[in-house]
Amino acid sequence: MQKITPSLWFDNTAEEAVNFYISVFKKARITTITRYGKEGPGQEGVVRTIAFEIDGQEFLAINGGPEYKFTPAISFAVNCESQNEVDELWEKLSEGGAKDRCGWLVDKYGMSWQIVPEVLMQYMNDPDPVKQERVMSAVLQMDKLDIKTLQQAYAGS
């Protein structure tokens, strides 16, 4: 069991959202489901909590009611190895949601995601501040991040 597990509060779509997330990511699975019983407070038989994993990262989703909503103040950054992975996750996760700037999107359940090529962190950690600035300038002009454009900015071409 990992030390810290993100817990996602849904009104009544936890099971639907988790099924969506595990369909998007190749290494994902549901690990445990609990359902409301006669004691409530939710409707009997409806998912109370659903534990799941994405690439070994544990999550817990709860149908807790309408009291809380997601905001972009919390997001999940997904480090992608290739442009194909960026493209695939960008399209799948944003379907029914909203695409935003700089690799950010909001899925149809209101969860914010950052779809980021792994190479971006390498470029942003370069000791040359001029290279960093060129890359950041390129990022600020994009919605979905494009590795080729980032490489060109980094190289100064």
Model confidence pLDDT, tens digit, residues 28-47: 999 999 999 998 788 899 99
Give the gyration radius of the chain's Cα atoms: 18
Residue type, position 53, single letter:
E
Strands 112-117 and 75-80: parallel
Percentage of the residues of the chain whose pLDDT score is greater than 90: 95
Of 59, 61, 58, 57, whose CA–CA distance to 46 is shortest? 61
Mean pLDDT over the full length of the chain:
96
Instruction: Quote the pLDDT of residue 76.
Output: 97
Query: Nearest to residue 6, comparing CAs of 69, 72, 60, 75?
Result: 60
Distance (Å, whole) CA 74 – CA 80: 19
Query: Does the pLDDT of residue 1 top 80, yes or no?
Result: no
